[in-house]
Amino acid sequence: MVLKNFFNKTKYEKKIAEESVNLEVIPSHIAIIMDGNGRWAKKRAMPRIAGHHEGMKTVRKIARVADDLGVKVLTLYAFSTENWKRPKSEVEFLMSLPEKFLNDFLPEIMERNIRVQMIGEKEGLPEHTKKALNKALEKTKNNTGLILNFAMNYGSRAEIVNAIKKMMIDVQEGTLNFDSITEETMNQYLMTSHLPEPDLLIRTSGEVRLSNFMLWQLAYTEFWFTDTLWPDFNEETFLEAIQAYQKRNRRYGGLKGEEIN
């Protein structure tokens, strides 16, 4: 596999060689719970919003390296349905970030052939946030490279409940046979129906829980946790997570040939 052209290519190639990262076994779909922005700011006696602003820069860095490595889908947990409980000023700042991020990064997104997508309840977002997201979704809809998928106003339990409700409606209307419902049927009713399930989940800041994120989709995903706070998460840490993934033995509940004997 040949790395795409990108910034600091020599540094990446050196890191890949040193860490024995196999460019032929890159996870197709990586999901990240971006955690620790507030603690990063607190450690520096700064307001929490400063941590969120710094975390936005990390999103750009990781999107670039994921694209460079040939990752197909990068899903970022940007704002959960539970995050509305945070102070109003913090929520308002978080809702302003998509507009700033996408306006600043969109030219490079287009240059890189990245497609922006979103999972979550868009209708619950402020108008200016929806406008920025809709602009990026429309502008990049024909791009064929990395899918940069933002989970905004997203909660997995609500997603599952809504999927079941839609299936019940279809059963009542006769467009879905109750006896034919399978796990694959469920997949088709989720917000991620058009995406492969994540191969690797990364969570930063030392927390080791899923926080209502992709509970169905992560059934056989490899998890990787780090104490690194999201604003400090960089390309090298990302490669470290991929290297750890490549050392895992993914059996999906079965056994590999050498384990059966």
Whether the Cβ atoms of residue 80 and residue 152 lie closer than 8 Å to each other: no
- Confirm whether residue 157 is marked as ligand binding: no
Q: Rounded distance, CA 152 to CA 155, Å?
A: 9
To the question of whether residue 40 is assigned a binding role by annotation, the answer is yes
Distances (CA, A) of 99 to 93, 103, 105, 196: 11, 6, 10, 27
| Residue 175 is labelled as binding a ligand | no
Rounded Cα distance, 88 and 123, in Å: 19
CA distances (Å), 5 to each of 69, 104, 150, in order? 10, 20, 24
Residues annotated as catalytic (active site), given as ranges = 35, 83
> What is the C-alpha separation between 154 and 97, in angstroms, rounded?
16
| Spatial separation of the C-alpha atoms in residues 95 and 99, rounded to whole Å | 8
Task: Give the torsion through C-alpha atoms of 69, 73, 76, 80, to 10 deg.
Answer: -170
Was 36 annotated as part of a binding site?
yes
The whole-number pLDDT of residue 250 equals 74
Annotated binding residue 74: no
Q: Is 82 annotated as a binding residue?
A: yes
pLDDT in tens, the chain (261 residues): 445 554 455 566 666 666 678 989 999 999 999 999 999 999 999 999 999 999 999 999 999 999 999 999 999 999 999 999 999 999 999 999 999 999 999 999 999 999 999 999 999 999 999 999 999 999 999 999 999 999 999 999 999 999 999 999 999 999 999 999 999 999 999 999 999 999 999 999 999 999 999 999 999 999 999 999 999 999 999 999 999 999 998 766 665 555 555
In this structure, what token pair is assigned to residue 99? 């507009």
d(CA 54, CA 44): 12
211 known ligand binder: yes
Q: Consult the annotation and say whether 210 binds a ligand.
A: yes
Question: What's the pLDDT at 16?
Answer: 67
Q: Is 224 annotated as a binding residue?
A: no
Written out in words, the top-level CATH class of the domain with range 26-155+197-248 is: alpha beta
